[in-house]
Amino acid sequence: MIQNLLIGALGSLIASGLFLLLMYRLRPKLDLSPKIARTTYDGETVYALKVVNSGRRDAIEIQGELLMIEPQVVGGGVGRNILQVPLVREGWFQLNPAAEVGEKFGASFEFVVTTNLEEEWMKHKNSYLLFRVHARDAMSGFSRVFSTAYYSQSDIIAGRFGAGARPRP
C-alpha cells in the first residue's frame, strides 16, 4: 500500500517536472538591437531601440525600460546611480513571430526616446545605458527578460532601422 502511494507520488513529480521543463522552453525569444538609431522627426531628435520577435509564437505584454547606470565609488566598493530614461511608450501588446509575418507590420517594435541621450550621457561620465525588455509567451504564459547594454556613444547611429525583422540600423 505505501509502496503504491510512493510510486504514484514519484510518478506525479516526474510528470510535473517534465511538463514544467517543456513549458519553460516555450518562453519568448526576442532580439534587441545592438545599436540605437537617431533620427529627426517633426524637427525633434528622437532615438529608437528596436525589438524583434525571432521566436515561433506570439510574444505578448512587452514592457521596456531604459536605464542610465552611473558607477560611483562609495565606502566599501562601487555603487551605482540608476537614472530612468523615459520612453515615449513603455509597452506594446503583441509581437508576432518574424518568420510568420515576413516584411509586414507586427514582428518588430521600436521603443522611442525623446530625451537627448547624447547630452545626458555627457553629464554622467563613465555611465552606460541598459535597455531591458520583459515579454510573455502567448501559449505557455512563461516570461523572459532580455537586456542589452550600450557602453559608448558610438552605439548611437544616425538613421533609421531597416524594414523587416533585422534589428540593425
Higher pLDDT, 108 or 25: 108
Domains of the chain: 28-158 (2.60.40.1400)
Confidence of residue 117 (pLDDT cuts 50, 70, 90): very high
Which of 11-20, 109-118, 119-128, 131-140 bottoms out in mean pLDDT, i.e. has the lowest? 11-20
Report the sign of the C-alpha dihedral through residues 11, 15, 18, 24, in that order: negative
DSSP string spanning the chain?
A: -HHHHHHHHHHHHHHHHHHHHHHHH----EEE-SSEEEEEETTEEEEEEEEEE-SSS-EEEEEEEEEEEEEEEETTEEEEEEEEEPPS--EEEEE--HHHHTTSTTSEEEEEE-S-HHHHHHHSTT-EEEEEEEEEETTT--EEEEEEEE-SGGGEEES-PPSSS----
Cell numbers 526576442: residue? 30
pLDDT of residue 83: 93
CB 69 within 8 A of CB 80: yes
CB 147 within 8 A of CB 40: no
Phi, psi of 17 (to 5 degrees): -65, -45
CB 124 within 8 A of CB 70: yes
pLDDT of residue 136: 95
pLDDT above 70 covers a percentage of the chain that reads 94
pTM above the 0.75 mark? yes
Tell whether the model's pLDDT for residue 38 goes beyond 90. Answer: yes
pLDDT of residue 163: 67
Tell whether the model's pLDDT for residue 168 goes beyond 60. Answer: no
> pLDDT for 70-101, tens place per residue?
988 788 888 888 999 999 999 999 999 887 77
